[in-house]
Structures are given as C-alpha cells and as structure tokens.
Amino acid sequence: MGGLWIIAGMTFCALVPFVVQVRLARAGKFGPVLSVLAVVGAVAVILLYATAKPFGIDPVQAMAILLLGVVPAGLGGGAGALLGKLLRNRDDRRLR
C-alpha cells in the first residue's frame, strides 16, 4: 500500500506543473513557462549538489526529494510546455 502512495505523490508532482504549463503556453505566456522550468531545474541542481556535499540536509533525503518530487515535476512541466506550444500553434493555424 505504501508504494501506491508514492506513485500517487509522484503523479501529483507531475500533473500540477503539466496543467500549469499547458495553460500558460496555450495563452502565449512563454516567459512564465520558462521561469517555472528554470526554478524546477534550479531546485534539482541544488538537491543534486546536496547529495554530494551535505549542508543541512541529509544526502539520502535530498536524493529522495529529487527523484520522487523534482524529476517528475520537471518532466511534467516540460511535457506541458511542449503540449501547450503545439496546441497554441494549432489554434493559430485555425484562425487563418
């Protein structure tokens, strides 16, 4: 049963940025889209650094947060940005 909660948490961490990125990209607001992806990437780099040089956070905990929360968020955000861009292009072609 514990594995189910882990998968549910990872899915939640991926779906939230996915939905946000699709809505922002489809609205044509690509500045916030890139900002969200940059923040997720920065958190990933900080946690990856924390796994090698412990500075206030346990390396195992940093790796767990990175793999269970930040990586799915980055993948979901990237997929959402791409889907939003493709939907935006389709909407622009329909208007012509």
In tens, the pLDDT along 69-92 reads 999 999 999 999 999 999 999 999
Alpha-carbon gap, residue 25 to 81, rounded angstroms: 6
In tens, the pLDDT along 21-75 reads 999 999 999 999 999 999 999 999 999 998 888 778 888 999 999 999 999 999 9
Provide the whole-model pTM: 0.87
Q: What single letter denotes the amino acid at residue 44?
A: A
> What's the confidence (pLDDT) of residue 95?
79
> What's the confidence (pLDDT) of residue 54?
74
CA atoms within 13 A on the CB side of 86: 6
> What's the confidence (pLDDT) of residue 21?
96
> What's the confidence (pLDDT) of residue 56?
80
